[in-house]
Structure formats: structure tokens, C-alpha cells
Amino acid sequence: MPTTHSAALDSRSSARHRRSSVVAEAAARLHRPLKWMTLTMTGLVVFSLVAMVVDDRMLLGESVWLKPMKFGLAFALYGLTLAWLLSLPHKGSRATWWLGTVFAVTGFLDVGFIAMQAARGTFSHFNNETDAWNEIGQQVFQSGVPGLFLANLIIVLILSWQRLVDRPTARAIHAGLFLAVVGMMLGYLMGFTGKQLVRDADGKVVELVAGHTVIDPASRDLSPRDAAPGLPITHWSTIGGDLRVPHFIGLHGIQVLLLAVVVLAWLAPRYPWLRADRTRAAVIGVLALGYTGLLAITFTQAMRAQSLIHPDPTTLTAFAGLTTGVLALLGLVYWQARATPDPEPTTTDPTPTPLPTPNPIRGRQ
């Protein structure tokens, strides 16, 4: 009995060691600049959370450190996703490595400017002040945002026609990257919402050339519409449309869809109709269509100067139609999976993507 118990302990210890080795190997293969950007952004999130407790300065009714925290979290999530994606074997890896590096460096500079302005108690976005720090920072900022967008767009163009991993994961990647590009594009529309006069953390009046709140142009003036009360944590506007909503939904679609891939793979052993790769890929396709519909509805709602939490009958009808359509398509996928046995080998591993082979240009990292 003691020998059996010892063998069981050794087996469990060996399994844990193998899992640790796999995780360490996968981490080592991640795109290094993006990995360092992700770690830096994670550190900024922690720092900002502490700063929100000890620093009571406010901008537009929220802590000066809330924006750096949100941007740090968003870039950490997207940077880690992109680092994993670029570590997968694919054609054009030399080009995507450099594009990932451009994204990492530009992201570091842009979020660094946001953090610097927070420390100064003033605004990073749309700030029209003429002091040297802001003018130089705005030039860097305005140059960096197109860099982020173009680097991501070219990565999408290179990877969109390649099947990097299993079918469900590949579909999630392609749809998620498309949603991310659209989400980034929508962010540019914030620059056309009109000027407003606001106060910085010291009470000084600052002109912002634009903002995130969309209101009826007929009633638009220079009043600080972005300072109106918003939703908890996100502070999305409750007095008008808010372009940050579709911007956020688009940027994080890839994480949502990849999470759906993992959940479906975990459910596959329990539900036979989900065991075929093609069925799970079809489910991901339906979810991607539904998510795209959600992005379109929230964008239309924002452009109609309508708050997310105050939908009108038109918006509610659109949501109802989208939900009905998604459920109907999922039902069709279920019916086809039950009616047609799958001749292909199935994959039911809850971690559906294989470990990447070493990057051919890893030496550059």
C-alpha cells in the first residue's frame, strides 16, 4: 500500500511538472516585444489601482488614474492575445514579427503618454492646450494611433487566409481580428463629436477638440458633456451615445470568441453533437455573426445619440431580431450535427490549439 501511494504521488508530481514545462515552453515562444509590453501594461494596471486609492484628484468625475488603468488592462489583454497569435507557425512570420514589434513599441509610447498626462492631472485625448509637454505628447499620440491601426490591419491581411490551428480556433482568430480592426476604426469617429470646455484636476479650464459622448448636433455647445454621470467603472455616457461602447466591443471580440472555443472544447466530451471540429467551427461562426451584429447595433445606437442603457423601440427590435436569428442558426447547427454523423477525426481537448513550433526569427527577439 505505501508503495502504491508513493507511486500515485510520483505520478501526480510528474504530471504537474509536465504541465509546468508546457506552460514555460509556450511562454518562451511568445513574441518577446509584445510580451514585455503586456507585462508593462499589467504593472501599470496594478500601479493605477493603488494610485486611485492614494491620489484623490479627479477628471470628469473619475479618478485621474482610471483611464491609465483601463488602457493598461485593454493593451495587456490584446497584447497577450497578439503575442500568442504571432507565435503560431504561419507564412510571413518575419513580417508579422516586425509588425508586432511596431504595435508593442507604439502601444508603450501611447499608453505611456496617457499615464504621464494622468500624473500631470490633465487630459491625454483631444487636449488642445499649448504647453510644451502636451504639444509634444499630442504629436507622439496622434502619430502612434495610426501606427497601431496599420500594424494590426497588415497582420490581419497576412493571417486572414491562413489556417493556423484547428478549424474552430482559426475561425475565432479570423473573425476576432476583423472585429478588432473595425473597433479601432470606430475610435477615429470620436474626433468628430465637437469641442467642449472641461476642467482639469487643478480646476483649470481646458478645451477638448472632441470627446466620446455623442449628442444631437442641434443641442451641442461647449458644455462638458463628457463630465456628465456615466455607468459604473466604464463611465459610458448615460445622457447620449458613447462611441467607446462599440470601440470596446470590437477590440475585445477576439478574446470573447477564443474563450468560446475553449468552452466548446470543454463541453464536447459531454455533448456528442459538439465533438466534430466542423460543428464547433459552425457554432463559432454563428457567434461571430451575432457578435458582429451586436457591434453594429451599439454603433448605430451611439451615432443616434442614444445611451446604451436607454434603448428606444428601434434598438430593442434590432436586439430581439439579432437574438432570434442567432438562436435559429444555432438550432440549425444542432439539427445538422445530430442528423449527419461526422466522418472526420474529432478533437475534444479543452485546449484546442497546439503548441507552436519555434519561431524562425526567434533569434531577432
Q: What is the mean pLDDT of the chain?
A: 85
Give the per-residue pLDDT at 349. 47
CA 228, chain centre distance (Å): 26
Q: Model confidence over 20-63: pLDDT tens digits? A: 444 455 567 789 999 999 999 999 999 999 999 999 999 988 89
Q: Model confidence over 200-240: pLDDT tens digits? A: 998 999 999 888 899 888 777 788 888 888 888 888 999 99
**Helix (H), strand (E) counts: the chain:** 10, 6
The yes-or-no verdict on residue 355 having pLDDT over 70 is no
Share of the chain above pLDDT 90, in %: 55
Give the per-residue pLDDT at 350. 45
For residues 228-257, give the mean pLDDT: 91
Give the per-residue pLDDT at 149. 86
The yes-or-no verdict on residue 72 having pLDDT over 60 is yes
Whether 292 contacts 177, CB under 8 Å? no
Q: How many CB atoms lie within 10 A of CB 129?
A: 16
More confident residue, 284 or 344: 284
Give the per-residue pLDDT at 43. 97
Give the per-residue pLDDT at 189. 87
For residues 95-102, give the mean pLDDT: 94
Range scoring the smallest mean pLDDT among 15-24, 131-140, 311-320: 15-24
The yes-or-no verdict on residue 141 having pLDDT over 80 is no
Give the per-residue pLDDT at 187. 84
Intra-chain end-to-end CA distance of the chain, in Å = 51
Give the per-residue pLDDT at 23. 44
State the DSSP string of 311-364.
--HHHHHHHHHHHHHHHHHHHHHHHHHHHS---SPP---SS-SPPPPPPTTGGG
When pLDDT is cut at 50, 70 and 90, the band that residue 340 belongs to is confident
- DSSP-derived 3-state class of residue 243: coil
The yes-or-no verdict on residue 361 having pLDDT over 80 is no
Give the per-residue pLDDT at 34. 95
The yes-or-no verdict on residue 159 having pLDDT over 60 is yes
The yes-or-no verdict on residue 328 having pLDDT over 90 is yes
The pair phi, psi for residue 273, each rounded to 5°, is -70, -15
The yes-or-no verdict on residue 345 having pLDDT over 60 is no
For residues 111-130, give the mean pLDDT: 91
The yes-or-no verdict on residue 282 having pLDDT over 60 is yes
The yes-or-no verdict on residue 67 having pLDDT over 60 is yes
Q: From 37, 33, 35, 63, select the one nearest 51 (Cα to Cα).
A: 63
Give the per-residue pLDDT at 10. 56
Q: What is the pTM of this model?
A: 0.82
Q: What contacts 320, CB < 8 A, 6 or more positions away?
A: none
The yes-or-no verdict on residue 250 having pLDDT over 90 is yes
